[in-house]
Each structure stands twice: as C-alpha cells, then as structure tokens.
C-alpha cells in the first residue's frame, strides 16, 4: 500500500511538472521574422570585416526587395547573391551580376543567406526588405512584397482573414509641393490602429478631444483604457499585447502567430501622432496590404475581384485608387473596430476628397509644412536601410520633418530586436529548473515501477 501511494504521488508530481513546462512554453514569446536585414563587407583593413545576415520567408512566396551599395573599386565585385546553404557562401541565387543598385525577386518559403563572403560581392552594403508594412506617408508593402502609395483619408482595413483584422486610420498633412512638379501629390500619415485579437478588440489612438496628448497614445482593450504594463496583457489563446523597445511602441500577437508592430512618434509642429506599422503575417490576408497579383496594380477588392491593369493616364489612376479602391476598403460604423468619443464616428475621420487630384495640399486649422532639400533629407535618412531609405528621403523632403528618419530607423530596430530578442534570464532558469524537475520525476517514476 505505501508503494502504491508513493507511485500515485510521483505520478501526480510528474503531471504537475509537465503542466508547468507547458505553461512556461506558452508564455515564452516567440521571436518574430524580420522585415529588413543587411550584410556588409569592409575591406579598408586586411582581412576584410564581414557582417553576415540571413532571413526566413514564412508561408506563401514573397517578393523581396534588394538594395546594394558598392563601395569598392570596379575590380572588387559588383554582384549580389543569395544561398540556401547555411554551411557555405554559394552563388546559388543571383539577384544581380551587373552592378544593379536595386531590384525585386520572388522567393518561396525557406531560409536564405546573403553570400557576403564571396569575392564577387563587395565591399559594400547589401540589404533585403520584405513583409507587409505601412510606413511614413503611407507607403504600403503588401503581403506578397509588392509596393504602392496610398494617401486617402479615413479608416481602412489593412489586413483581414478568418479570426484576424487590422484597421488603420490615415490623416492628411498640409504640405507645399513644388508647383512646377506635375507629379506632385498630397500626403497622409497613419495616426491610429484597431485590431481584432481573438475575441478581443484592441485600439491604440490619440486621446479623445480637440487636441492630441503629446505624452502618448491611449491603449484600450474592449473599450476600456488599459495600461500595458511591464509584463504585457495576455488576451488568451496566444493573443497578447506587449511593449517594444521603442518609446510608446507596441507588439500585438495574434492567435494564428501573426505579429504586428506599432512604432509611434510625436510631430510637434503638426500637433499629431504618426505611426509606422510592420506585420509578420502567418497566412494570406486581404485588405489594403493584401497581395497584388501579376495582372493587377492594386490588391483585390473585398469581394475578391481584381482592380485590373494600371490605367494609362493619371486621372484614371487617381479615380481608381482614391475612389473605387479606397471606398471598397473603408470601414463603416457597423464594421469599425475603433473607439470613438461621444458624438463622433468613422465619418468624423473620413474625407473622400483627400487627396485632391492636384495641389494645393491645404488642411483647415493647420500650417503647411515647408519642404526640405533632397541632400539634407538624404543626410537625415542615412541610418535607414533597404528600400525604406527612399521612402524616408521622400517623406522628409515633402514634409521638412527629419523626425520621419528617426522613426524609420527606430521601427527597423524594433523588428531587428524582435528577431534576436534574448529570452529573459529569469525564464531561462525557470525553464531549466522545470525541465530538471521533469527528468527527475520521470526517473523516479521509472525506478518505482521496476520495484513494483
């Protein structure tokens, strides 16, 4: 009888230990997939200093964007290669062999390594950018890596699929485009986000009222003001809200293992918050960041129909993008996930005439921003890598606000940190202790069974 009781006790202890291990694994946040990586080679010293980089494409094929900055002589190699072999640097996948500075390529799921050690690469900087995002004056990168600009004012579905939805709010900015530039356009910025995470509704918006609060955006869960705290907010079934290493930054984890990063910044001259959004999707989704097919220039409409080929003239493009497409993806009072102050609704934040087809770009109650010279904008954006560098330069030039450069660099740093985020030491010791307890309990259980 004592042996039987001991056996039961050991079995109970074994199961308890197992449950603790499972619990620890559940609360241990998974790393996210990067949106930009950069490898480099500096041969100003001997031997060359090499910084390697790799990236992983998850799920469906993606269009990656690559950029190269060659800093060596003409004989030191002006090619860009990738490989899927982690053991060596091979010239398996040629992005360019002729010294191109940028381009795109469709890659299937898998892990890729920049072949930076090859003699035909470098010295220089080589970057890869991918994954959906909405940055600056919204430059959209779609779920399959295509790109377009979307400046309409209002609240739109960024991504939607079964059980997941992300909505964004875009707000116009008064600027002074060059009247001699026939391609000049008016711009907007992201100012708020709302998301469905499992059975919960999460919003991150400026404070209600006539003036935004420069101290920070307001987080609400199911309509209630909430402090994310140091440990984050567990929404159940893998859903979670936590802080990033950026001031005011948030990471939203969805039950399907989609990750969404929010990097805000305060624009004092405009009295507004603006936000960069980056997504690591777990599966296909539709919305303004949905995939762009081979025979169309924009993501599909909510009913799955195509926007067709790029219209031949500017007026038709304007109507297709800012009227047909924008209106199709606008949220309504019935579909909105946002929280609103009393007496307001999604229509409060909607202006269907923005952007105007031609400047001026005037917004009532605000002062138009003075543009910045291109050389100064490029200097401000030096720290921004990959294809986002061109977006950064454009945004700083148009608005005269060098703060965009800092926000771009910060959001790229957030993603890099998410990929390489260290597991807190306390969790390492907790997990080691639990695993040790599991092994000991299992050994005791086996020895007890032999005695019985």
Query: Please, which residues have CB within 8 angstroms of residue 194's CB and are 6 or more apart in sequence?
Result: 155, 166, 167, 169, 201, 202, 203, 204, 205, 336, 337, 338, 339
Structural tokens at position 36: 């930009």
Nearest to 337 by CA among 134, 195, 153, 163: 195
Rounded CA-CA distance 216/225 in Å is 13
Per-residue model confidence as pLDDT tens for the chain (452 residues): 444 445 455 444 444 444 443 343 333 444 555 567 889 999 999 899 999 999 888 766 778 888 899 999 988 999 999 999 988 788 899 999 999 998 888 898 889 999 999 999 999 999 888 778 999 999 999 988 888 999 999 999 999 998 899 999 999 999 998 777 778 899 999 999 999 999 999 999 999 987 788 999 999 999 999 999 999 999 999 999 999 999 999 999 999 989 999 999 999 999 999 999 999 887 789 999 998 988 899 999 999 999 999 999 999 999 999 999 999 999 999 999 999 999 999 999 999 999 999 999 999 988 899 999 999 999 999 988 777 888 999 999 999 999 999 999 998 888 766 654 443 433 444 455 556 656 666 665 666 665 55
Determine the pLDDT at residue 14: 42
Instruction: Please count the other Cβ atoms lying within 10 Å of the Cβ belonging to residue 167.
Output: 26
Determine the pLDDT at residue 184: 86
Determine the pLDDT at residue 25: 38
Rounded CA-CA distance 128/93 in Å is 13
Determine the pLDDT at residue 446: 63
The four Cα atoms 410, 414, 420, 423 give a dihedral, to 10 degrees, of 130
pTM above 0.85, yes or no: no
Determine the pLDDT at residue 21: 37
Structural tokens at position 261: 């990063």
Rounded CA-CA distance 88/168 in Å is 43
Angle at 436 between CA 433 and CA 438, to 5 degrees: 110
On the CB side of 266, CA atoms within 13 Å amount to: 13
φ, ψ dihedrals at 169, nearest 5°: -110, 130
Q: Which residue has the tokens 């420069």?
A: 214
CB 430 within 8 A of CB 24: yes
Sign of the dihedral through C-alpha 214, 219, 220, 225: negative
φ, ψ dihedrals at 14, nearest 5°: -60, -45
């Amino acid at each position: 009888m004592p042996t039987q009781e001991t056996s039961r006790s050991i079995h109970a202890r074994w199961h308890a230990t197992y449950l603790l291990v499972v619990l620890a694994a559940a609360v241990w946040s998974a790393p996210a997939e990067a949106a930009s990586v950069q490898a480099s080679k500096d041969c100003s010293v001997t031997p060359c200093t090499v910084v390697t980089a790799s990236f992983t494409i998850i799920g469906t094929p993606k269009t990656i964007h690559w950029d190269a900055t060659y800093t060596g002589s003409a004989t030191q190699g002006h090619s860009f290669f990738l490989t899927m072999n982690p053991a060596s640097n091979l010239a398996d996948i040629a992005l360019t062999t002729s010294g191109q500075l940028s381009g795109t390529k469709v890659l299937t799921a898998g892990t890729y390594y920049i072949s930076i050690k090859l003699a035909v690469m470098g010295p220089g900087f080589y970057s890869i950018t991918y994954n959906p995002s909405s940055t600056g004056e919204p430059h959209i990168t779609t779920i399959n890596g295509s790109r377009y600009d979307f400046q309409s004012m209002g609240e739109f579905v960024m991504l939607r699929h079964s059980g997941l939805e992300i909505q964004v709010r875009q707000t116009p900015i008064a600027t002074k485009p060059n009247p001699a530039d026939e391609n000049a356009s008016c711009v907007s910025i992201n100012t708020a986000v709302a998301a469905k995470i499992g059975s919960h509704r999460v919003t991150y918006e400026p404070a209600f009222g006539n003036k935004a609060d420069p101290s920070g955006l307001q987080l609400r869960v199911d309509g209630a003001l909430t402090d994310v705290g140091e440990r984050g907010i567990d929404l159940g079934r893998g859903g979670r809200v936590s802080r990033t290493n950026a001031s005011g930054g948030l990471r939203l984890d969805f039950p399907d293992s989609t990750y969404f990063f929010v990097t805000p910044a305060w624009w004092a001259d405009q009295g507004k918050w603006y936000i960069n959004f980056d997504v690591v999707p777990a599966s296909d989704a539709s919305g303004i960041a949905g995939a762009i097919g081979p025979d169309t220039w924009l993501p599909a409409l909510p009913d799955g129909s195509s926007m067709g080929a790029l219209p031949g003239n500017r007026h038709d493009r304007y109507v297709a993008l800012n009227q047909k497409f924008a209106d199709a993806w606008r949220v309504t009072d019935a579909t909105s996930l946002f929280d609103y102050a009393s007496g307001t609704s999604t229509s409060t934040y909607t202006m269907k005439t923005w952007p105007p087809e031609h400047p001026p770009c005037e917004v009532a109650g605000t002062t138009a921003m003075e543009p910045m010279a291109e050389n100064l904008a490029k200097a401000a954006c030096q720290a921004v890598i990959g294809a986002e560098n061109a977006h950064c330069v454009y945004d700083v030039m148009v608005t005269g606000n060098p703060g965009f450069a800092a926000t771009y660099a910060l959001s790229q740093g957030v993603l890099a940190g998410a990929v390489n985020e260290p597991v807190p030491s306390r969790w390492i010791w907790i997990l080691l202790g639990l695993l040790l307890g599991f092994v000991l309990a299992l050994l005791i259980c086996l020895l007890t069974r032999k005695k019985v």
